[in-house]
Structure formats: C-alpha cells, structure tokens
C-alpha cells in the first residue's frame, strides 16, 4: 500500500507542474494538440449498489453531461465493461449492462476487460490509435479501482490522462476525494471550455 501511495504522489508531482503552467499561460494550452476520447468505466448495474450514495447522484449526472457533450462534439465515447470469469456479471445479463439512464449509444465502441486496467489484454490501445486519440478523459467507477488502474494504464501507453472530478464514484466518498486530489483531474466546466476551443 505504501508503494502504491508513493506512486500516486510521484504521478501527481510529475504532472501538476505541467498543468499549473498551462493554467498560467492559456495561450500555451492552445498549442497542445488534443485529440480526446471519453472513457466511461464500469457504470454497470451489478457494481453501482456498492458505491457511495454521496458520490452516485451528482457523478451520474456529470457522466451524462460529459457523454452528451462528447456526442455533440462528435468526439469518441468508449464504453468499458468489467467482467470477472469467476464472479461475473456475464455479458448479456442485466447486471452486466449500464443503467438505461446512462446516455451511451449502441454506436459507441465497447471494450470488455478482465483486469482493473482497461488496457490490459484488450483492444483499447489499438482502438484509441485507430481513432487518433492522444488524450483520455476518465469517468465512472470505482475511482479507487478500475478508473485508477486505467488512468495509470493510459499513462503507461503514452496518452495524456485526466479524470473528470465530479464524474467519479467509489465505495466511500472520502476515497473519491483522495483520488481527485492526488491524480490529475479536471472540473467538467474546464473540460467543456477546453474542448469547445477545438475547431
């Protein structure tokens, strides 16, 4: 656990100076070519009951705002589902699916993973390369589990990775806050302003 936290802090230190520089120099931010995708992670019926009620309502609202915004901008939205061979849920079951209230489309690419990191033994990296994506925005659950694992997986595959602060869910609200504070995250309004500048 100590090494895990040390890694998180190191990651925070490496990227915070870059983001601070961008905030101080907005013109520099425009020079960075951003080809984004939204990763909607594990918002599945079987897992949602284990998440904090304090996170759930506002996070689900923000996840839908982000999905709608990316659809409106014709930017990729990628649905990521977790399936464990020994515990399920099985693809095709009600528990495997996202709630109908989540505004993903059947045309949004779908990735099924079996590890916390959605890049491990999946087509996610090749899919992002095919879409010419270099920056991923992450939302969903659990912030302390699969969102965090995929965040580090994205960095390991040389993508820029940012979590959407208000669109994260964990079993405990204080855990969500910790992840927001030590990983690179962005408010939804900031994301919207940044991507609205794209031609």
Domains of the chain, each with CATH number or no CATH: 35-196 (3.40.50.850)
Q: Output the pLDDT for position 196.
A: 87
Q: Output the pLDDT for position 50.
A: 94
Q: Output the pLDDT for position 159.
A: 97
Q: Output the pLDDT for position 96.
A: 96
Q: Output the pLDDT for position 94.
A: 96
Q: What is the Cα–Cα distance from 30 to 160, expressed in whole angstroms?
A: 15
79 SS3 class: strand
Mean pLDDT along residues 31-57: 92
| pLDDT tens by residue, 159-192 | 999 999 999 999 999 999 999 999 999 999 999 9
| pLDDT tens by residue, 50-99 | 999 988 989 999 999 999 999 999 999 999 999 987 777 999 999 999 99
The encoded tokens of residue 190 equal 């900031």
33 SS3 class: coil
CA dihedral 42, 54, 63, 97 (to 10 degrees): 30
Mean pLDDT along residues 101-121: 97
Mean pLDDT is lowest, of 23-27, 84-88, 133-137, 173-177, for 23-27
Q: Output the pLDDT for position 79.
A: 98
The pLDDT of residue 137 is above 90? yes
pTM of the model: 0.84
Cβ(142)–Cβ(178) below 8 Å:
no
């Amino acid at each position: 656990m100590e090494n895990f936290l040390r890694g998180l802090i190191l990651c925070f230190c490496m990227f915070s100076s870059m983001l601070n520089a961008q905030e101080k120099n907005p013109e520099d931010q425009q020079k960075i070519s951003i080809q984004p995708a939204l990763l909607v992670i594990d918002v599945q019926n079987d897992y949602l009951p284990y998440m904090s009620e304090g996170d759930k309502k506002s996070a689900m609202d923000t996840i839908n705002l982000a999905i709608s915004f990316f659809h409106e901008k014709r930017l990729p939205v990628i649905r990521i589902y977790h399936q464990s061979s020994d515990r399920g849920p099985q693809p095709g079951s009600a528990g495997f699916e996202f709630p109908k209230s989540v505004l993903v489309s059947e045309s949004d690419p779908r990735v099924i993973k079996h590890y916390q990191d959605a890049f491990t033994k999946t087509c996610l990296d090749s899919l992002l390369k095919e879409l010419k994506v270099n920056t991923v925005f992450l939302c969903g659950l659990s912030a302390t589990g699969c969102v965090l694992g995929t965040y580090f997986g994205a960095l390991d595959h040389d993508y820029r990775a940012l979590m959407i602060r208000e669109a994260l869910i964990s079993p405990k609200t204080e855990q969500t806050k910790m992840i927001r504070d030590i990983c690179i995250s962005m408010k939804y309004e900031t994301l919207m302003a940044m991507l609205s500048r794209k031609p």
